[in-house]
A = this chain, B = another copy of it.
Amino acid sequence: MEQQANMKPYVIGLDLGGTNSVFGIVDSRGEIKATTAIKTQPYQNVDDYVDAAIEALQVIIEQVGGIEKIKAMGIGAPNGNFYNGTIEFAPNLSWGRDGVVPLAKMFSERLGIPVALTNDANAAAIGEMTYGVARGMKNFIVITLGTGVGSGIVINGQLVYGCDGFAGELGHTIIRRENGRPCGCGRSGCLECYCSATGVARTAREFLETSNEPSLLRDMAPEDITSLDVSIAAGKGDALAKRVYEFTGLMLGEACADFAAFSSPEAFIFFGGLTKAGDLLMDPIKRGYNAHILKIFKDKAQFLISGLDGSSAAVLGASAIGWEIQE
């Protein structure tokens, strides 16, 4: 076993996003040996996409010594189903919107290696367990704070996929049951409407609209405000912008208190763009949690920011899925 592992020291990771598809060849310590990328969207169909991906991949595969050095491939993709290796009805993918795409099988047939696929938040959770801050942990929850809010849940050292491969949609638990914000999922009051990057911008616009408080954010057109602008303004001491992060963090902490009642994790790990705000976000998360947590769980969970290197975190996460494949 050990010898075989040495013979095939690498896995391929693919972070399949709505805009870019980033590939990395990664060793068991999480070092990226070679990387490349293609655009995700400008393809008529998935066959053309896979053709372009294989062409780009060939170059970096040769760089590391050929396909015989590579054990497996892991893909993190929106609406990815681990059980079937498929992408299912992904609204943001031109070639994946209307059906079930067997992407893992397609790559596996072309490369001749095992390929596993899951959604990006699950990939992040496996990535934290393999290379990041969750090494050695058996029970933790990764919450991804990007355009949306995703989650990857690990229990007894295993990722939770549920009966259908789609478990772990904590961004779509309901945090406001009355007068909740409408959500892209067709319901309202989902955590994602408040605690994603777009949720933060939405909160900033609401706060600006409902007060006359001076704020650096008033220099911008409201529709142009992003979570990054709010974070920059808060960093400059802008009181309204600080309250936006306070509101966001408190709500996230409150939600985590409910998640603890489910799986009592040893850590909540936050991943993605919003975590760049650092303590501005993490402090109210902890306060919100402590204010709402059931006594029996008090002071048991840590609150951590992802240990994966920001720019390559998603590729590392995807690659980690490759190490998990049981042959």
Contacts and interface: CB of A to CB of B under 8 A. Distances in A.
A187 B260 CA distance: 15
Interface string A128-170: 0000000000110000000000000101101011111011111
Contact of A167 (B167, B185, B263): B263
A259 interface: yes
Contact of A295 (B155, B173, B185, B265): B185
Given A162-B139, A164-B297, A297-B164, A174 B292 contact: yes
Nearest to A176: B177
Total identical chains: 2
B258 A167 contact: no
Given A173-B258, A176-B177, A258-B173, A163 B294 contact: no
A307 B188 CA distance: 36
A296 interface: yes
Interface string A231-263: 000000000000000000000001001110111
B258 A296 contact: no
Nearest to A259: B262
Contacts of A161: 264
Contacts of A176: 177
Interface string A175-206: 11110000001110000000000000000000
Interface residues of A, number: 43
A160 B263 contact: yes
A135 B170 CA distance: 28
A6 B195 CA distance: 56
Contacts of A294: 169, 172, 185, 187
Given A163-B266, A167-B264, 18 more contacts: A138-B163, A139-B163, A162-B265, A163-B301, A164-B297, A166-B264, A166-B296, A166-B297, A167-B262, A168-B262, A169-B296, A170-B261, A172-B261, A174-B258, A174-B292, A187-B292, A187-B294, A262-B263
18 contacts: A139-B162, A139-B167, A153-B262, A155-B158, A162-B264, A163-B265, A163-B301, A164-B264, A166-B296, A167-B264, A169-B296, A173-B258, A175-B177, A176-B177, A177-B177, A187-B294, A258-B258, A259-B262
Interface of A: 138-139, 153, 155-156, 158, 160-164, 166-170, 172-178, 185-187, 254, 257-259, 261-266, 292, 294-297, 300-301
